[in-house]
Amino acid sequence: MSVYDRIAQLGLEVPPTPKPAASYVPAVVAGKLAFASGQTNTVAGVLTVKGKVGREVSPEEAYQAARVAVLNCLACLESVLGSLDRIKRVVKVTGYVASAEGFGEQPRVINGASDLLLEVFGERGQHARAALGVAELPFGAPVEVELIVEIKD
C-alpha cells in the first residue's frame, strides 16, 4: 500500500507545501537523507490553534496541532522528493512546544506527530525523537515539528 493510500484511509491528505515565513527552503536533500524545515499547525496559512500549551491551548489541542504540523512536514518532503513513497524510513522527529510556566507534558504533545507517522508508515515510521518546551514559537504557534527521513535508493 502506498503512503498516499494510507493517508487517504486515515481521512487525511497531504496539504500544499507551506510557503516559508523567512529565508529558508521547505526541505533539503543531503545524500540519502531529507530534512524538512520546522513546520507549525497551519492550514492554508492560518494557525489551527494559537497560544501556549497549558494556558490557552490544551494538551489535546496541541496533540492535534502536532499532527497538522507533521502533515506540513510531509508536504515539504514531497516537494523535494517528488513522492512520499520514496521515504525508506523516518529517522528523527524534533518537536517544540510553546509551554506555559509549569507545563511539562511536551512528550505527550509531540506524540501527535509520532503517532501519525506510525499510522502512515508503520514500522518505517519508528524514529528517534526530541520533545522540547520553549518560551515562544513563530506567530504564536503552540507547536513546531521538524523531520529527518531516509530516502530509498
Average pLDDT of span 49-76: 98
Average pLDDT of span 57-74: 98
Residue 29 has pLDDT above 90, yes or no: yes
Average pLDDT of span 115-142: 98
**pLDDT of the residue at 129:** 98
**pLDDT of the residue at 149:** 98
Question: Position 117: which residue type?
Answer: L
Distance from C-alpha of 41 to C-alpha of 116, rounded to nearest angstrom: 14
Q: Which CATH number fits domain 3-151: 3.40.50.1220, 3.30.1330.40, 3.40.190.10, 3.90.870.10?
A: 3.30.1330.40
Residue 1 has pLDDT above 90, yes or no: no
**pLDDT of the residue at 153:** 83
Of 67, 69, 36, nearest to 137 by C-alpha is: 69
